[in-house]
Amino acid sequence: MNEVWNNTSHMQLTDLHSVSKSLDEVQQMIDEEVIREQSQKHQFIHLNLLYATIALAIISIILITAIHILLKCQYISNRQVIDILRRLVQYSSSIRRVGRENYASRIYDEVPLRAPPSP
């Protein structure tokens, strides 16, 4: 037993106070580092969510624009694409050229509109 108690350290009481103070500083530094890492993690997550939101907004704008252009310029019927703007120009120019006749039937006779086949 004497051997265990004979292990004396050379630390004095004043040194013990400075060591405890330095341990408190180390603990404070560890806490600050943990807080900094957590804030970086949250910032990374928020940044990724922002990028995903921007990407979805851009894709939505592209799709809305494409749908608008398709609806404005083309009419799809019976697997045929009919250009409505071209037909309107032909219709209005043919009305201006000649007197009063039924040009609407002549224009739409090019591509007849039929009902889809029944199953």
Residues 43 and 70 in one domain: yes
What pTM value is reported for the model?
0.38
Q: Which residues contact 111 (CB under 8 A, 6 or more apart)?
A: 80, 82
In a domain, 115, yes or no: no
Residues 96 and 71 in one domain: no
Other CB atoms within 10 A of residue 74 CB:
13
Confidence of residue 2 (pLDDT cuts 50, 70, 90): very low
Interval 89-111: pLDDT, tens: 666 666 555 554 555 555 555 55
Please report the beta strands in 1-119, taking only residues with DSSP state E, as ranges in sequence order.
74-77, 80-83
Distance in angstroms between the alpha carbons of the first and the last residue of the chain:
101
Q: Is 82 helix (H, G, I), strand (E, B) or coil?
A: strand
The domain tally of the chain equals 2
Interval 49-84: pLDDT, tens: 999 999 999 999 999 998 888 777 665 554 455 566
**64 lies in which domain range?**
35-77
Q: Is 117 helix (H, G, I), strand (E, B) or coil?
A: coil
